[in-house]
Amino acid sequence: MIRIGFFTGWRCEYGLTFELLKVIDSSPDFDLLIYPNGLHFLEKYGYTISEIKNDGFRIGEEIHTYSENGDEKVFELTNSINMTYKVLKRANLDGVLVNGDRIEAYATALAAHFMKLPVFHIGGGVITEGAVDNIYRYNITNLSSVSFVTTQKAFNRLKNLEIIDKNNVHLVGSTAIDRIISFRDNPELPCRFVEGLKNKDYCLMTFHPVTNKSEPIGELMDWSIKMVSSKGYDIVITYPNNDEGCESILEVIEDWKSYHNIHVKKNLGSRGYYAAINESKFVIGNSSSGVIEAPYFNKPVLNIGSRQEGRDKDTGIVDVEPNIDSLNKALEMGFQEGWVSKECHYLYGDGSSSEKIKNVIRKYFTL
C-alpha cells in the first residue's frame, strides 16, 4: 500500500484538491494522511481546520506553523520547513503531495527533498506576474519528482525547461474542475452558506494583495463596493490570503462589513463558494478562482490588476487596469449589458484530473 501525505496550508488549495483526496482515499492501493498547517489554524482566516475534520479525512499530524499575530515571511518559511521536516521524520510516508504555489507548499517540498521523499506537485508551469508565487511555484517544480499541470500552455512551458525530466510532466487539468462538476450534479443555494443573502442580484468579490507590483488594491476594492452597492446589488466578500499587503484589504472589509447589503465570509468552504458563484451575477477581484473556476459556471469576471497576469484566461474574463477610471468603465459596461452569461472553453480540463493523477502516482511506485 502506498502511504501518501497531503500537506495543506490554507483553504483554497485544500478545496481545489478535495476530489483528488476522495479518489485517493477510496482506493485500496493508497493510505492517505492529511497534514494541515499554516492558515488552517488561524481564527483570523476562518479556522479552516474544522472543514478538514468535518470532511472525515484521516489527519496524520497537525502542524501549527503560524501565529495568530503573524510573523515576517522569512520566519514563516523557515519555521514551516523545520516543523514539517520533523513531522516527515516521524511519518513514514512513501511520498508527499502538494498543490499550488504558496510558501507552505514550498516549505513542504524543501523538507521532503531533504528527506529524499518523492514530491508530487499540482499546478506547475503557471505564470502569475503580479505575485511572488512564481518563485515558489518554479522552485517546487524543481524539487518535485512528478509535476501535474493544469493547462496546455503551462505544460508546454515545463516541457521546454531543460532541467525538468519531460517524462515526469503530465497534463491533467485542474482538480478544481472535478469538484465543480460534482457540485453541479448536486447544487446548493448560497443562502445556506451566507446568512441574510436574499437579494438575487449580487456579485462575489475576492481581492488578494499584489506582491510583485505597486497597485492600490484597497482603494480599488473600496470603489468597487461603492459602485456595485449604488446599483442595488448585494456583495458577498471572502477574505484575502495573508500575503504582504493584506491589511489594506482587511481594513476595507472592516469598514463595510456592517452594511446591510455586504456579506463577509472568512471561509465559505468549497461547496459554499461554488454556491455563491453559481447564483451570482458576476465575479470581481483578482483571485485565481475568478480565472480558473468562475468560467465553468458561465459567469462574467472582472479581473482587476496584474496578480493573475500570465494565467490562461477564458473569453468571459475582462482584464481591468488597476485604476479607478478603468474599473468604473468596466463596471458600467457590465451593468449596461446585464452581466450576460459566458461560454466556457474548458481551458482547465473536463473533470477527469483526479483519476489521472491517482493513476500516475500509482504507476510511479509500481515501475
Question: For residue 69, is pLDDT > 80?
Answer: no
Q: Which of 161, 124, 177 is nearest to 295 (CA)?
A: 177
CA-to-CA dists, residue 164 to 34, 40, 88, 161, angstroms: 28, 32, 25, 6
pLDDT band at 129 (very low <50, low <70, confident <90, very high): confident
Average pLDDT (159-177) is 93
Identify the three-state secondary structure at position 203: strand
Kindly tell me if the per-residue pLDDT of 163 is higher than 80. Answer: yes
Per-residue pLDDT averaged across 228-241, rounded? 96
**pLDDT value at position 151?**
95
Q: 74-77 — which CB contacts under 8 Å span 24+ positions? A: 76/103, 77/103, 77/106, 77/107
Tens digits of per-residue pLDDT, 266-307? 989 899 999 999 999 999 999 999 999 999 999 999 999 999
pLDDT, position 108: 97
- Indicate the CATH number for domain 2-174+349-366: 3.40.50.2000
Average pLDDT of the segment spanning 175-199: 94
Q: Please state, rounded to an integer, the average pLDDT across all residues of the chain.
A: 94
Which cell is 282 given?
A: 458576476
The conformation of residue 221, written as its DSSP 8-state character, comes to H
| Cell, residue 62 | 497537525
| Domain covering 185-337 in this structure, CATH number | 3.40.50.2000
User: What pLDDT is attached to residue 260?
Assistant: 93
CA-closest candidate to residue 266, choices 241, 248, 244: 241
Phi-psi region of 245 (alpha: psi -120 to 50; beta: other; left: phi over 0): left
Q: Is the pLDDT of residue 105 over 90?
A: yes
Parts of the chain belonging to CATH 3.40.50.2000: 2-174+349-366, 185-337
pLDDT surpasses 80 at 71: no
Nearest Cα neighbor of 295 from 310, 307, 311, 272 is 311
pTM of the model: 0.90
pLDDT above 90: residue 74:
no
What kind and span of H or E run contains 49? Answer: helix 49-55
Q: What is the mean pLDDT of residues 309-328?
A: 96
- C-alpha 71/C-alpha 111 separation (Å) is 20
Whether 123 contacts 102, CB under 8 Å: no
Give the pLDDT confidence of 20-39 residue by residue, as tens digits. 999 999 999 999 999 999 99
Per-residue pLDDT at 239 exceeds 80: yes
Confidence at residue 188, expressed as pLDDT on a 0 to 100 scale = 95
Percent of the chain whose predicted confidence (pLDDT) is above 70: 99
Q: Is the per-residue pLDDT at 180 higher than 80?
A: yes
